[in-house]
Amino acid sequence: MAIYGYVRVSTRDQNEDRQMIALQQLSVPEKNIYIDKQSGKDFERPMYKKMMRRLKPDDLLYVKSIDRLGRNYEEIQNQWRILTKEKKVDIVVIDMPLLDTRRGKDLMGTFLSDIVLQVLSFVAENERTNIKQRQAEGIAAAKAKGVRFGRPPAPLPANFHSVYQRWKEGEITGLAAAKECGMPMSTFRYRAKIYENAKLL
């Protein structure tokens, strides 16, 4: 029997130390710890796939919490089935002692484990949905207050005002104006509209 550990953080900026410490305390060999630094929305993760190829029947897999395995309710259920039924490995979710497939191999134990898994998988996905909703609401509220997202526009060229005036008075075409300002026609028209609106305020 080999012992493995799986660690996942959502971004490269997040720290995996908490998960690593938990696995090291359980004497999981460092060479058997697989770390992915990406979202848990699906299981298309390089290190997870690599670990899956190495797992053999009766091996033991530790994860710190169910949301480290994934955040999609159906996919967590599916992966749990593949790991326990097809790969025939045992899984221990450290933060949830009831999710330990080494215990209760009888019908009642399996039944309880399946119920707990379903509840926790649902909670993980529900939290993911709530986070996305809170982000969307936060962005909408910020936009309503006038907060702008994305890169700030480049400063207007020094000659923009005079070129704009000549274009507005029909002395030069839009194409000529854009060329004088060193920008594409579409950009010139876009910046001219913003400039015009700013003058009206």
Residues belonging to the active site? 10
Angle CA(165)–CA(152)–CA(142) in degrees, nearest 5? 115
Give the C-alpha separation, 109 to 83, whole Å.
17
Q: Counting beta carbons within 10 angstroms of the beta carbon of residue 20, is it exposed (0 to 12), middle (13 to 18) or buried (19 or more)?
A: middle
What is the Cα Rg of the chain in Å? 28
**Neighbour order of strands in the sheet with 90-93:** 33-37, 3-9, 60-63, 90-93
Give the sign of the dihedral formed by CA 26, CA 32, CA 38, CA 39: negative
